[in-house]
Structure 1
């Protein structure tokens, strides 16, 4: 079976998670409304608005994904599927990649639909590059954040009991996306490691960041800085996926 075929199978499995839809779709809708009425909205009617909306969607839907994927790495063992997977001639790396792609294709669908709809409205209003811009924002801002939230949830679920892992994953997500002077803890916000895409929207889309650049690892608002930030986020995703797979495999062997 090809990677695409395996990913489709895992996509069908993910689509059956009603709890995911009941949280992701309302949160996407709420994020869209919040982005539309927020006084911080750029209001240019162009890609800056798309970038801002993509950030709000990434922040809020990440809460749903952090809560929904605690069994991401352990589900196959709980359902007895790991023995079947181990007996197939398909490499383990291909199976894990298909599992990620299948679930991700479901996770990203609401954001793609909303941003493309916004891009279409902007195109009709005279901004011809808005549809490509909507896809670019989805790929560079929303997608990495969603993958980090999913992988973070899966690692928490592999380390802890499901209920506790869900709570821990959501709390960690809030730590990653919010900064406050009331809690003077170092966070990735304002740096190249920001998971809400500040370095990317400033460097590639000309939008203002939600948090100002700060610290020795501050982003500089350049296209190169945006590229470095995106690569760092993808490295984090890869590291979390590897850690989650290793923890799940180690647990199965006990």
Structure 2
């Protein structure tokens, strides 16, 4: 496909639907929110979508019924969202043709990775999305978004926490650009900074100890006074 992937986002909770739509837009998708199945069906009569995110528990027509319709009538890839942990719902959803199943609460970065994976499997990923799944190489390090691994100098694996991995990925994907602390919190933890919040700074310090040649004189992750942080290395995608 060409252009940014168009996502139909169906969830009756505004507190989930609206922030998630905003996040997906930042990540390069074109989200169209719908509060229920009826609105989703209406939108499908006049718009084209590449994937649907569908909440299972909704008033009126539930997400499983809508997912069945999306798969059978529109051949649309579907990822189900639900707060329920019942394996029966998950199995039923997958048997109906859903491509994936994500439980609430979820990390938006993980959901983004799932979306990209489903789009690639369905052959609907744009050139930009295919590129986003490629390995990122910088300063003899290899960061793999697909495997969620970092290979160090000499080919040895470097163990990162989930938060450290997301932080490094955000900076590497935006190499040469300054990313503010607020944006780093939003992109990696889906929350806003509180007064005296130093979680990003502490995480950067730990990350530097793992990836910098000389953590005392960082050359990869630079601090920008009053701005945030920036990946200074040249990043190649392969």
Please, what TM-score do these two structures have when normalized by structure 2?
A: 0.28
Between Structure 1 and Structure 2, the one with more helix by share is 1
Between Structure 1 and Structure 2, the one with more strand by share is 2
Please, what TM-score do these two structures have when normalized by structure 1?
A: 0.26
Higher RCO (C-alpha under 8 Å, 6+ residues apart): 1
Q: Computing the radius of gyration over CA atoms, which structure comes out larger, 1 or 2?
A: 2
